[in-house]
Chains A and B, each alone.
Chain A
Amino acid sequence: MQYLLMIYSNEAGWTKLTQAEQEQGMAAYHAFNEALTEGGVLRGSNRLQPSSTATTVRVADGKSQVLDGPYADSKEQLGGYYLIEVPDLDAAISWAARCPGASHGIVEVRPSWRNP
């Protein structure tokens, strides 16, 4: 099954880190990426620009409304994702727990609707 691991974290946290800490953080993500690839489960991943770059769009009564900012105005924001393919939820959870995002934020695990 395919699962999307969504990393939610406090964006302000990252800028407060020293350069050495940031490098260590990046290295941890890099290693996680490598492990997913080595395990043959990685189907896609990316990091997102900060939520200050976000734009929301909705169409109501035929008119589109475009607004500056993210959908949810919460401290924790979506910062990146991994799409993985594993046999079951337990396997997805064990990968989510290894994700550095689970230590500095929260990882939400969601099965995809349809499996290729």
Chain B
Amino acid sequence: MSEHANPFSGDEQARGMADAVARRSYGKLVALLAARTGDLAAAEDALSEAFVSALEDWPQNGCPSNPEAWLLSVARRKIIDFARRRSTRDISIEQLQLGAEWLDPAAVDEAIPDHRLALMFTCAHPAIDPGVRAPLMLQVVLGLNAAMIASAFLMSPATMGQRLVRAKNKIKQAGIPFRIPEREELAGRLDAVLDAIYATFAEGWTDAGGTDVARRDLAEDALFLGGLVTEVLPQEPEALGLLALMLHAEARRRARRNPQGEYVPLAEQDTSLWDSQMIDTAESLLLRANSLGDIGRYQLEGALQSAHVHRRRSGHANWPAVVQLYDALLALSGSPVVALNRALAIAEIHGADAALLVMEEIAADSRLTEYQPYWAARAQLLAKIGANSEACHSFEIAIGLERDDAVRRFLQRRQSALMP
């Protein structure tokens, strides 16, 4: 290998810096490179080639003082190279409208502007298939590779790769813009961005034990993206609500499993394991959102999390207030999952019989037949009124629908307690 006295120090330093830049600036660089050409795939390719060049150049010549600017100018040259190679086919360099300032080192050497939120709006554009918006965001804003994203979203890497490629082609060919929408459009468009962030968080949340690295990181990534939205749009109550909701959930991560790795339901969690700093931040975000008016789904869900936290900490439950929050949420979303949770809150006030009656009304919704928490909730209510054999059957289906082993064992224990 190398003849140098200390062959690895320069390499290690360069690699360390490249990793750090990739973590803090990947999305910023992609946003800047793609905004001009509309071509995300070319921006990503150019940037990854620039990283390869960096790992060759930096160990020899030392790490540059502004590594982002270094990568940006190399990547820009690569993009022009790509365009030259293709120019006979479908696009000319003039059409790329790359002015001379593109390669001017002085222009590059300033602070890198942060257009990551604009990039997120591109990924969550209504013209993009909703199912690929969250994966696309993870790839182009955070630089995750298709295989990692595929495993987190339980999809084959090949399928995920194809869907990402298709989405990037659509962005380029249909001319989807890279910018934060105007005021009047913002509300509807922001929802899609928030939904994609929440989908990311939900995938991360299913790995409560934190044993699956790809999943655990997804929750952190979602928190990071949620924070980014509130930084750029601090006056959007729903963005604040989503961040609060995610922080409340994340705060309880350590309490969701006991030391043996067994699932612990919310009602039995050790509250001293909750992260009180995250909870405090979540509470102040909710207050700020509330002061801005314009209530929405994420604020209501955040408020519900807040009510659960308060109940566990103080021992005092305000179930009528919880039911009211679910009423408002149900009116907004019409979601059968919300209706289910509302039924469980009603059980706390009026008993299991009343809740089972409410659940009968929503049982016809086909979306619930494959929803594990519906069957688990039904089973627990049936057990309470002594309908043991029906309860066992509901537990059976819940167990069959669950993909997390610890939760499965928890349900099995509850089920076997009912058996004669």
Q: Using a CB–CB distance below 8 Å, which chain A residues touch chain B? A: 1, 3, 87-90, 92-93, 109, 111, 114-115
Contact = CB atoms under 8 A, between A and B. Distances in A.
B127 A88 contact: no
A88 B173 contact: no
Contact of A87 (B126, B173, B177, B181): B177
A111 B177 contact: no
Contact of A89 (B90, B95, B176, B185): B176
B133 to A, nearest CB: 15
Interface of B: 90, 95, 125-127, 173-177, 181, 185
A103 to B, nearest CB: 18
A34 to B, nearest CB: 23
Contacts of B174: 89, 109, 111
Nearest to A111: B174
A93 B181 CA distance: 13
Contacts of A114: 90
Contacts of A3: 175
Contacts of A88: 175-177
B322 to A, nearest CB: 40
B177 A90 contact: yes
Please report whether the interface of chain A is mostly helix, strand, loop or mixed according to DSSP: mixed
Nearest to A88: B177
A90 B180 CA distance: 11
Q: Which of A90, A109, A114 has the most CB of B within 10 A?
A: A90
A90 B174 CA distance: 10
Contacts of B127: 89, 93
Contacts of B90: 114
A94 to B, nearest CB: 8
Given A89-B127, A93-B127, A111 B173 contact: yes
A50 to B, nearest CB: 30
A114 B126 CA distance: 24
A92 B127 CA distance: 12
Contacts of A92: 175
A111 B171 CA distance: 11
Nearest to A90: B177
A29 to B, nearest CB: 25
